[in-house]
Structure 1
Amino acid sequence: MKHPQTSKNRRLAARTRLHPVAVASTLALLAGAGAAQAQQAAPAAGAQSLETVVITGIRKSLDSAVSLKREARGLVDGIVAEDIGKFPDTNLAESMQRIAGVSIDRNASGEGSKVTVRGVGPQFNMVLLNGRQMPTSDGAGRAFDFANLSSDSISALEVYKTARASSPTGGIGATINVKTARPLDVRERIASIGVKANFDQSVSRLPNEIQGDKVTPEISGLYSDVFGNRTLGIAISGSYSKRSSGSNNAFTGNGWETRRVTTGTNGTAYAGAPASNLVNFPTSGFISHTNDVRYRTSGLERERINGQAVLQFSPTKELKFTVDHTLAINATTNRAIENSSWFGPSFSGPLNGRPPTTFVRAGDVSDPVIQTATWDGTHDYAMYAALFANKTKLNSTGFNTAWKVSENLSVDLDVHSSKSRTRPDSPYGSNNVIDLALFNQGNTTMYYDQKFPVMESKGLAYDSNKTTVTGSQFENNISDQDVDQVQLSGTYQLSTDDKLHVGLGFTKLKNRAAGSNNFHGDWGGIGPQGSFKNQNVAQYSLPSFFSRIPGSGDPRQFQTFFVPNFEALRAQAIKNAQSYRPTSLEPGAPLSAAEAEAYFSPYPDFTKGNDWRTTEKSTAVYGQWDHSFDTAIPMNLSVGMRYEETKITSSSQVTSFSGAVWYAENEVRLTGDTRTFGTKTGKYSYWLPSIDWDADLTSNLKVRASYGENIGRPNFGDMLGGIALNKDSGRYNVNGAGSTGDPALRPLKSKNLDLSAEYYFAKSSYVAAGIFHKKVTDFFTTKVVQQTFPGLNQPASGTYFNAARAAGIPADAPKLLRNYIFQNYNGQPGVTVTDATDPTFLKGNIDGTVPGAQPLVFNISTPSNGGGDTIKGLEFNFQHMFGSSGFGVSGNYTLVRSGLKYINNAATTDVQAPLVGVSDSANLVGFFENDVWSIRGAYNWRDAFLAATNDNGNNPRYVDAYGQVDVSIGYKFGKNLTLQADMLNLNDGYIRSYGRTKTQHISAIQTGRRYLIGARYRF
C-alpha cells in the first residue's frame, strides 16, 4: 500500500515543473476557493477565481490564461483582464475570437455580438455569468448577445469546450463563463476610473439627416475594498457608453425564389416570360430569381449602462456569503433610409435598348446575372424612412454560500433570479416604416455580375409631383425572459488521490415574445400624387455610400439616393388621411383626426398580434469522481454522470383569417382577423456521461483525452403551438407563408470526443494541437409543408383571371391583369373599383370570393427532428514570448468539417438539416510591452459559412469570408495613469452574403474604421 504522504509529494514535485509565474498565478486562482474546487471544470458559482491574480499587463494576463489551460481537467481556454477593471478588448465577443475554435457573428454596426464554437452556432452555446445561466430576451432564440455587456467590469472569460457532469446542459459548442470581480478574492483596495472618446468613421458615410454624433463618450469606474480583517468585502463597478455608428447595405429584401425548371404552355418558359426573352435558359435543374433590390443607409445610436454591486461576508475562513446584483441596459435607435425597386419575376426581352435576361449556371442552379424589367414610366420607386428603437434591460440578483464543513467536505449553494426585458423605446413603437413612392420609374435592369448589385434605370429622376406615401408599418414588440435557478454542490475528499463531486440543480425559464403590427399597404397612395410635394427629400450620390464594395462605381448604376424624413412623412400622411381615405382596402369617408393618428401609430396592446409564451422547467443531478494516479507519469482521471429532466409548456396566441384580397399590383393580404389561443406540452430526459483524462508525459508535454455527451435545446420559436399565418406574405402569383412549432421536439444530442497535446517549451510559451469529433443526432430541421385553409382563396385565379389571360395579357403583368378585370367585371362578385380617376390604372379590390377562385396555397415552415451527422475538426494554437525583449506573438487556426450541410441543388420543399455557423477561422496577435508602452495588433479571419436557412422560405444565406485588423496602443505615466488608443477594422472591411450561388446576392454591408482614445487612472 502506497504511503499517502509520498503520493502527495510526488504530485507536488510534478507540479513544480511549471515556471514560477504560472505557479504563482495558479495559487492565486485557488485562493479563497479551497482545494475542494480547484480542479472543477464546471464553472459553478463559488468555483476557483481568476480575480485573485493581480494583473498588470499583457504578459501576466497571458500567463494566467496559460495557467488556467494547463491546470484544468478537460479542455479549457480563457482570457484574463490585464488589470482589474481593464479587459483587453472593447467587446467580449471580439475577445473570444482569439481562442482556438471560436468565431464571431457581427451585428449591423460591424461589432461582434454572438459566438460560434467549433462550428456550433450561438444558440447552442451556454453563456453563464459567474456560473449562472443568463436570460436573453431576443424573442424566439437562445443566443446571448454579448453587445449588452461592457467589458470594463469583466475580469475573465472561461471557455469550457468539453462536457462535464457539473456543467449545465445546452452548450454543445462550449460553456462560456463570464466572471466579474469578487472583493474577498482580490483582497486589496482597488479604485479606478476610465474615460474614452469614440469616433466611428462609418458615421461620416451617412446622409447628414441621419448622422449621429461624430465623437461619443465612454466612462467606467471600479471600487473594491475589504474591511474587518478581511471578513467584509464590497465591490461596485459601473460603465456608461454611447456609440454612434452607421452601416450601408445593398441587398434584396425578399431573398431569392428557387423552383425546378419547367416548360410552360403557349411558348412560355418561366414565370410567363417568352423563351425569346431568356438567354442561356436551362433545360434542367433549378432556376432562381429575386424580386427587388434595396439600398439602405442606417444611422445607429447605442446607449449602454452596466453596473454591478457585490457584498461579501466571511465570518470565518470556512464560511463565506456573497450577495450581488448585476444591471445591464442597452438602448438602440436606428434611423434608416432605404431606396428600392420592386421588379418581381419580370424577364423582359431586349426592348428599347434593354439587354435580355441572361442566366449563368452553377451546379444545378441557374440565376439571372442580368435581369430586365420593362416599365411604362409610371412604375413606383420606393424611398422609405424608418425608425427602429428598442431597449433591453437585464437585472440579476444572486446569493451564494460557500461552506467548508470539514477538512474533507465543502458545500456550495447558489441561488439567483434574473430577468431580461426588451421594450419599444419610441412613442411610435419598436419598428416603424413609412414608404414614400416616386411613380416615374421606367425600364430597369439589374446586373449581378459583381459583388455589388447594380441597378440601371435610365430616366429615373425626382419629381415631387409624382410622389405619395404608399405604405406604413408600426410595430410594438416585446420580449421577456426570466431565469430562476438553484444550484447545490458538494465536494468530498475521499483520500489524497480521490474526490467526489455531487450536485443538484433546479432551473425555471419563462420566455415570452409578443407583438402587434399595424401594417397598411396603401399602394394606391395616401392622397393623390403630388400631395407630398412640400416634403423635403435630400439627394446624395448613391455610390458614395458603398465605396468599399467592388462594383459600386459601375457607370451603369443609378446614381442618386433620395432621403425623406420619417416624422415629416408621418405628419403629412395624417393630414392626407383626413382629406382622403388612405387605403383602397377601406373605402369610405376620410378619417377623423383621432382615427388618422391611430392609423399611423402602433396598436396599444397585443390583442391584434401574436403572443408566444413558453415555460421550461429543468431538474438536474450529477456525480463526478476525480482520481490522481501516483505513477511515474502523473495522470488525472475524472468520470461523471449527469441526469437532466425537462418539462415544457407552450401557449401561443395566433391570428386566424377568413378571407384574402388582391388589393394592389403585386400584393395579396389576408382579412377577417380573429385571435385564438392554444397550449401544447413536451418533455424529455437524458443520462449524460463524461470522462476526462490527462497525463504529463514530460515536464513540458501534456496530453489529454475527453469524451462527453451534451444536449442543445430547441429555440423558443420552434416550440410554438398553433399555426401563425403571415398576413402580408401573400403576393400575386406567389404562395403565402406561415409557421408552426412543436414543444415536443427532442433536443439536439452530441457525443463529443477530444484529443489534444500541449507543449510548453519556454516561459509563457507553448504550442497546442487538438482533434475533436462530434456525433450529432436529432438535429433540428425545417420542412416546408404546402397547406390550404377554408375560406382563404387566391384572388388572382378563377373565371375573371382566366379571361384576362385568354385575352393575351402575360402572367408577369399584374397591373394589366387587374385593369382588365376591373374594366370588365366591376360590381361582379369579388370585384370592387375604388378609384377610377385614371382609366389606364384602375384601383380597387379583387377578393377570394370571385367565381372559380382556387385555394390560396401557404408554405408552412414546420420544425422537426432530423437525422444526424458529424462535426469534426483540428485546432492549432501557439504563444511565444521572445525572452525578455517585451515582444510576443500568439495565434490559432481552426479547421471544421461537417456533413450537416445545406444541399444547394435541392428543392425548397425538401427536408434538410444543415448546421449553421460551420467555418474555418484564424487569429494572429503580435504585441510589445515594457514598463511604459503596451502595443498590440491583431488579425481575425473567418471563412465563408452558412448563416441561415430561412431566407425567403427554406433557402440558404451564406456569409462570405471576412477578415479584420485591430490595433491598440497604451502608454503609462507613472504607476497610475495610462493612455490608451484602440483602432478597429483598420482594413475597412465589408461583409457580403449570398444564396445558393455567389451570383445570388443577398447583402453587402459596409461600416467603417473605429477609433477610441482614452485614459484610465488607478487610485
Structure 2
Amino acid sequence: MPFEAVLAQTSQATDNKPETSQAPATGKKKTADGKAKPTELSVVTVTGILGSIDRTIDAKRYETAVVDTISAEDVGKFPDTNLADSLQHVTSVEITRDNNGEGQYVTVRGLPTDFTLATFNGLSATSVDLGVRTFDYNLVSPDFVSTLKVYKTSRADLDEGGIGANVDMETITPFGIGKERTVITAKGQGSPGEADTRYYPDLTGLFSDVFDDGKFGATIGFDWNKRAFLNQSSDPSPFYGVTINGKGPYYAYSETGYSNMESKVDTRTVYTALQWRPLKSTTATLTGFYAHRDSFYVTADNGVVPLEPFGAPSYNGPGADYSVDQNGVFNRLSVPVVAYTFYNTYSDDRATMKNLRLNVDTNVGNWEFSETAQYSKSSDTLEWMRPLLINSSVGGQTPTPNTPVYGGYQIYPGAPIQGYILDPSFNISDPSQWADQQFKNVTETGNDTIKSLQLDVTRYFDDGILESVKFGAKAYDRPRVYDYHYWTFAFQPGQTTYPFASAVQYPSWATSVLNGYGGPGARPSGLFFINPNLWLNQYFGGSLSNFRSNPQTVYYSNPGNNWNMIERGRDAYVMANFKFDGKVPISGNIGLRYVNTFEEFLYDSYNIADITFPPCHIGTAGCEGAIFPPISRQDTRGASHVLLPSLNAAANLTDNMVLRLGASKTISLPTIDSMVPVPAISVDSFQIAEGNANLKPFSSINYDLSWEWYFRPSSVLSVAGYDKQIHGFIQQGSTTQNIGGYTFHVTYPVNASNGFVRGLEADYKQSLDFLPSFWSGFGFEINGTFSDGQTDAAPQYNVVRTQFPGLSKKIFNATLFYEKYGFSGMMTLNHRGRYVFDPNVWGYNTTEQVANGRNQVDMHLQYGFTPNLTVFADCKNLFNTPIVYSEKLRNGPSTEYPGEWLLNGRTVMLGATLKF
C-alpha cells in the first residue's frame, strides 16, 4: 500500500487513533547523512494510516537524497502480505508477478530487475533464484520488516549494484518498539467461487520487550503462511518461418498449448532481534532471519504441434488447410503432419534464506563508530517429474499405425486466446489412445552465500558548513554453487511393462480447460492427470533412485550444468555532509566510493579444440558424430574496479517547499548467466555458445531533479525528473572457429552498447481532515510515472535498437482511504502500461512478446472493536483480472497475435489481530 514512512526507533502507540507525530528533539550530533540527530529517542510514533502518511512525508522532506519509504502501520502490521505488492505503490516502481500472481521481482524506473539491489539493514542480500542476482521478494514475510526504503539516488555509503535503485529492508528491533508488545494475527485465505477452493491459514506471533532499565531488549516472531492457487493459462510458442508446398515463407506458431495448474505455497519465517546497551554510548544489535518456502505445483498441459517434427521449416504434401493474413502469419493452420502432446508436471521447489547480522554502534564525543558482520545464505532445490504422452502422425506413432491424424490452430481477431483444430478420430481425453510415452526427472540445486565485514566511522562538527564526514570500508566473499541433472525414460513402441494407464486420475482441477475464459475457440475437455508418484510406487518401489538406475533410463550430463563461482569485493568510501545557511538554506552530501570486484569460476568442461570427428560428414547416416575429450576441472577468472562519485543537495525554497538535485555514477554487476564461461556445443548445427567471465559491470551516469510542496499537514505534492545514461549493455558477439576440420559459429556475450532511461514522476497525497464530521476521515493518494528508455544499436554485432524489456511507459496508482470511528479501509488501483516482455522469444529472432496493460484493484477493510482487538478483510485482484501477453513479429508489422493468457483468480483473506 502507498502509505510509506520511516518507522521511528521508538515506542509504538497502543491504539489505532490518528494522532499528530511530534518532531524529534535535536542535539548537536547529526546522522550519517547530515540530518539532525536526537540525543534521546523522543518521537511518538502512532499507528494507523494517517500516522504512516505523516512519517512518509517527514522522511521524504528531511532527506537530502531522493528516497521513498513504506512502513508498518503498527508492529507486525505491514500494509501488504507481500513486500513486492507493497513496493509497487511507490512512484516509478513496477513488479513482476510469479505464476500464482504474487509479486516476486521489483524494477525501478523501467530498468531490468538485475538493476535493483536488495539489502537487509543496509547490507546486500543473497538470492534464492538459481544463477541470477535478482532478489525474490515473495520469500520474505513482511511481518518483521519495519520499513522499506527505496533509494532512487545514490550515496557513497550505500552498497553498489543498484543502477535502478537500492531497496533496503529494515527489520524491527526491541529498542525500536520500546516496550513490551505481543501481537497475534490469524487469518484464513482462499479463492471463493473457484472449483476445489480450500482455505489455508496465515498465522503470525510476535513478542518484544525491553529489560533492565532499557539495557537489554529481545524480539522474537514466527509466521506461517500457507496458500493455494488454481491457475489456468494459454501459452502458444513463438512464431517461426515455414513454407508449405513451395509457398511462403509464412509464420506459424511452433506449438499451441493450454495448462491447468494447482499450486500450494507454504512459507515459514522465524525472526529474532537482540539488543544490548551496556553504556549509553554503545548499542549492540544481533538480528537473525530465517525464511523457508516450499512451492508445490502440479499441472495438466496439452498442446498441438503443427508441422511436426518440432520446428520443421517446410511441408510438402497433401491435406494442408490454411489461411494467411496480410503479414504472412497463419491465422488458420491444419496439417496431417502434427503431434499432440500431453504432460503432467509434478514439481517441488524448496527455497531457504538465512540472514545473521551483528552490529555495534559506539558514540565517543563527536565520533561515531559502527562495525557490522553479516552472514547470509540462500539455497534452492527444485525437483520435478513429468509423465509425457505424444501422439504423432510422424513415424507411425498413432493408435493405428500409418493412419495420420491432423490438427492445428485458429486465431480469432481481437481474441487473446487461439483455438484448437482437433481431429475427431483422436480422443485426446482417452489415455489409451496416446502412442508414445516418456517419463522425465530433473533436479536443480544451488546456493548463494555472503560473508561480509563493514566498518563505518563518522566525525560530526558543531559549527561551519561541514556537518559531518563519514568514511568506511567493506570486504565480502560471495560463493555460489549450481548443479543440474536430467534423467529420461523412453517407452519402446508397443511396450507394456511400465504403462501409465494404471496411474491415471481425474481431479477436477485438471479435467476442464480455461473455464475462466469465455471467448471463441475449440478446446479439449475431459483431461486427466497421470500421478507420477503412483507410477513410481507401482513399478519402482516409490524410489527415484531405482528409476534413475533402471537400464532403460538415460542420464543426460552436460558438464556446463555444474559450476562454482566465487565473487570477492573490496570497497571503500568517503562522504561529506554539508549545510549552507542563508536566504535559501542548502544541505546535502558529496562522496566517492571505490569498488574492486573479483570473480572466479570453477567448472567441469573440456577443451573444445580437442574435439575430433570420425571420417564422415556430421549428421549423415552411420556417422557417430563428435568424439569429446575427457572432462577436466577448469578455472576462469575476471576482475573489475571503478570509482563512483555522488552528489545530493536539497534547497529549502520556502518553509514548505524543497528542491532536490542528485548526480551520481552507479554500477550493476554483470548477469551471472552471461558470465559462466562453460561452452554449450551443438555439433549438428555447428554452434557454440559460451559465457564471458571478463564482462565489466553495467555503469550509469544519473541526474535527478525533484520539487516538493508540503502545502498542509499530511499532504504533499511532488514532481521529479530523472535521466540515466547507461553504458556496457551485454550483447552477443560472434566469431568462427575451426574444430577438427569443421567451421563452428561461436557466440559469446560482450559489453557492446549503451542506452538510456529518462522520465517524469509525480506524487500527490492529501488527507481531507479539514472536512466536517464523517467526511474528515477520507484521504487519497495518486502517483504516476511516464518514462522512456532503450538500448542503442550495436551494428558490429548485428544488434538493433530495442526498448528496455519490462519498461512500461505509463504506470500509476490511485488509493482512496478512510480512517475514523475505529474503522479503517482503503481501495487501491494499480495500473501498469504495456511493455516488451521478451524482445527475442526463445532466440528465434522472429518473435517479440509484449505484456498488455493491466489494472489490478486491491481492497482492505478493518474495524477495531477495542484498542487490542481488530478484525479485517482483504481482497487481492478484486475484479479477477488476467495477465495477458501478445506476440508480434520482430521489426515487422505492428499487428499483435495471441500470446500467453494467465488467470490466477482473486484471493480473499479474513482474520483478526490481538495485541497487548
Give the alignment's TM-score, normalised by structure 2. 0.86
Q: Which amino acid is the alignment partner of residue 118 of structure 1?
A: R
- CA distance 1:918–1:607, change in 2 (3 Å): closer
- Contact 2:32-2:470 within 8 A present in 1 as well: no
| Greater Cα offset, 983-992 or 563-572 | 563-572
User: What is the deviation of 1:910?
Assistant: 4.3
Structure 1, residues 284-330: CA drift from partner, whole Å, max 9, x if none?
xxx64332112111111111111111111111211111112111111
Q: Give 3-state SS (helix, strand or coil) of 2:837's partner.
A: strand
Q: Give the equivalent residue in structure 2 for 1:404.
A: 363
Q: Give 3-state SS (helix, strand or coil) of 1:94's partner.
A: helix
User: What is the deviation of 1:861?
Assistant: 5.1
- CA distance 1:464–1:92, change in 2 (3 Å): closer
Structure 1, residues 258-305: CA drift from partner, whole Å, max 9, x if none?
6xxxxxxxxxxx44x2245x5xx6xxxxx6433211211111111111
- CA distance 1:1005–1:360, change in 2 (3 Å): farther
Are 1:478 and 2:445 counterparts?
Answer: yes
- CA distance 1:51–1:65, change in 2 (3 Å): farther
Are 1:367 and 2:329 counterparts?
Answer: yes
- Contact 1:723-1:738 within 8 A present in 2 as well: yes
Q: Give the equivalent residue in structure 2 for 1:215.
A: 199
Q: Give the equivalent residue in structure 2 for 1:703.
A: 659
Are 1:899 and 2:790 counterparts?
Answer: yes
Q: Give the equivalent residue in structure 1 for 2:113.
A: 122
Q: Which amino acid is the alignment partner of residue 222 of structure 1?
A: L
User: What is the deviation of 1:200?
Assistant: 2.8
- For this pair of structures, how many residues does the alignment match? 857
Q: Give 3-state SS (helix, strand or coil) of 2:261's partner.
A: strand
In 2, Cα distance between equivalents of 1:229 and 1:897: 55
Structure 1, residues 961-1007: CA drift from partner, whole Å, max 9, x if none?
12211001011111101111110001211112234446454421111
- CA distance 1:760–1:216, change in 2 (3 Å): same
In 1, Cα distance between equivalents of 2:305 and 2:183: 55
Q: Which amino acid is the alignment partner of residue 610 of structure 1?
A: N
| Greater Cα offset, 85-94 or 922-931 | 922-931
- CA distance 1:558–1:994, change in 2 (3 Å): same
- CA distance 1:534–1:474, change in 2 (3 Å): closer
Q: Which amino acid is the alignment partner of residue 453 of structure 2?
A: V
Q: Give the equivalent residue in structure 2 for 1:423.
A: 381
User: What is the deviation of 1:235?
Assistant: 0.8
Q: Give 3-state SS (helix, strand or coil) of 1:756's partner.
A: strand
Task: List aligned pairs for 1:429-448, cutoff 5 A.
Answer: 430-438=383-391, 439=398, 442-448=405-411
Q: Give 3-state SS (helix, strand or coil) of 1:62's partner.
A: helix
- CA distance 1:968–1:451, change in 2 (3 Å): same
| Pairing partner for 1:984 from 847, 851, 876 | 876
Identical positions, percent: 22
- Contact 1:50-1:156 within 8 A present in 2 as well: no
Are 1:645 and 2:596 counterparts?
Answer: yes
Higher strand share: 2
Task: List aligned pairs for 1:645-724, cutoff 5 A.
Answer: 645-654=596-605, 675-724=631-680
Q: Which amino acid is the alignment partner of residue 484 of structure 2?
A: G
User: What is the deviation of 1:373?
Assistant: 2.1
- Contact 2:230-2:261 within 8 A present in 1 as well: yes
Q: Which amino acid is the alignment partner of residue 129 of structure 2?
A: D
In 1, Cα distance between equivalents of 2:257 and 2:719: 45
| Pairing partner for 1:961 from 844, 847, 853 | 853
Q: Which amino acid is the alignment partner of residue 36 of structure 1?
A: K
In 1, Cα distance between equivalents of 2:803 and 2:132: 17
User: What is the deviation of 1:1013?
Assistant: 0.6
Are 1:27 and 2:57 counterparts?
Answer: no
Task: List aligned pairs for 1:250-399, cutoff 5 A.
Answer: 250-253=234-237, 255-257=238-240, 270-271=242-243, 273-275=244-246, 288-343=251-306, 344-345=311-312, 355-361=321-327, 366-375=328-337, 380-399=339-358
In 1, Cα distance between equivalents of 2:569 and 2:325: 53
Q: Give 3-state SS (helix, strand or coil) of 1:184's partner.
A: helix
Are 1:536 and 2:530 counterparts?
Answer: no
Give the alignment's TM-score, normalised by structure 1. 0.78
In 1, Cα distance between equivalents of 2:34 and 2:226: 39
| Pairing partner for 2:575 from 624, 644, 650 | 624
In 2, Cα distance between equivalents of 1:908 and 1:769: 39
User: What is the deviation of 1:716?
Assistant: 1.4
In 2, Cα distance between equivalents of 1:902 and 1:200: 46
- Contact 1:719-1:745 within 8 A present in 2 as well: yes
User: What is the deviation of 1:564?
Assistant: 2.8
Q: Give the equivalent residue in structure 2 for 1:227.
A: 211
- Contact 1:349-1:357 within 8 A present in 2 as well: no
Q: Which amino acid is the alignment partner of residue 395 of structure 1?
A: K
Q: Which runs of 5+ in 1 are unaligned?
A: 1-20, 206-210, 259-269, 282-286, 425-429, 578-591, 792-854
User: What is the deviation of 1:483?
Assistant: 0.6
CA RMSD in angstroms, aligned pairs only: 3.7
In 1, Cα distance between equivalents of 2:737 and 2:896: 31
Structure 1, residues 884-937: CA drift from partner, whole Å, max 9, x if none?
51101002111110132799xx99964767632211311111110113111110
Structure 1, residues 645-682: CA drift from partner, whole Å, max 9, x if none?
111112222478888999999xx999979644322111
| Greater Cα offset, 528-537 or 456-465 | 528-537
User: What is the deviation of 1:644?
Assistant: 0.9
Are 1:869 and 2:770 counterparts?
Answer: no
- CA distance 1:571–1:641, change in 2 (3 Å): same
Are 1:171 and 2:162 counterparts?
Answer: yes
Structure 1, residues 430-460: CA drift from partner, whole Å, max 9, x if none?
1221202343672213123431021111313
In 2, Cα distance between equivalents of 1:48 and 1:130: 22
User: What is the deviation of 1:1008?
Assistant: 0.3
In 2, Cα distance between equivalents of 1:217 and 1:50: 37
Structure 1, residues 806-853: CA drift from partner, whole Å, max 9, x if none?
xxxxxxxxxxxxxxxxxxxxxxxxxxxxxxxxxxxxxxxxxxxxxxxx
In 1, Cα distance between equivalents of 2:342 and 2:486: 21
In 1, Cα distance between equivalents of 2:545 and 2:477: 47
Q: Which amino acid is the alignment partner of residue 297 of structure 1?
A: N
- Contact 2:500-2:530 within 8 A present in 1 as well: no
Q: Give the equivalent residue in structure 1 for 2:423.
A: 458
- CA distance 1:942–1:744, change in 2 (3 Å): same
Task: List aligned pairs for 1:921-960, cutoff 5 A.
Answer: 921-949=811-839, 951-953=841-843, 955=845, 956-960=848-852
Are 1:36 and 2:30 counterparts?
Answer: yes
User: What is the deviation of 1:726?
Assistant: 7.0
In 1, Cα distance between equivalents of 2:796 and 2:41: 52
Q: Give 3-state SS (helix, strand or coil) of 2:175's partner.
A: helix
Structure 1, residues 676-720: CA drift from partner, whole Å, max 9, x if none?
432211111111111111111111211111101100101111111
Q: Which amino acid is the alignment partner of residue 782 of structure 1?
A: Q
- CA distance 1:608–1:461, change in 2 (3 Å): same
- CA distance 1:593–1:37, change in 2 (3 Å): closer
Q: Which amino acid is the alignment partner of residue 217 of structure 1?
A: P
- Contact 2:34-2:578 within 8 A present in 1 as well: no
Structure 1, residues 790-815: CA drift from partner, whole Å, max 9, x if none?
59xxxxxxxxxxxxxxxxxxxxxxxx
Q: Which amino acid is the alignment partner of residue 970 of structure 1?
A: Q
Q: Give 3-state SS (helix, strand or coil) of 1:336's partner.
A: strand
User: What is the deviation of 1:614?
Assistant: 1.3
- CA distance 1:51–1:949, change in 2 (3 Å): farther
- Contact 1:80-1:155 within 8 A present in 2 as well: yes
User: What is the deviation of 1:562?
Assistant: 3.8
Q: Give 3-state SS (helix, strand or coil) of 2:52's partner.
A: helix
- CA distance 1:308–1:756, change in 2 (3 Å): same
| Pairing partner for 2:514 from 525, 537, 546 | 546
Q: Give the equivalent residue in structure 1 for 2:7.
A: none
| Pairing partner for 2:529 from 553, 563, 583 | 563
User: What is the deviation of 1:738?
Assistant: 5.8
In 2, Cα distance between equivalents of 1:749 and 1:891: 32
Q: Which amino acid is the alignment partner of residue 914 of structure 2?
A: Y
In 2, Cα distance between equivalents of 1:241 and 1:192: 16
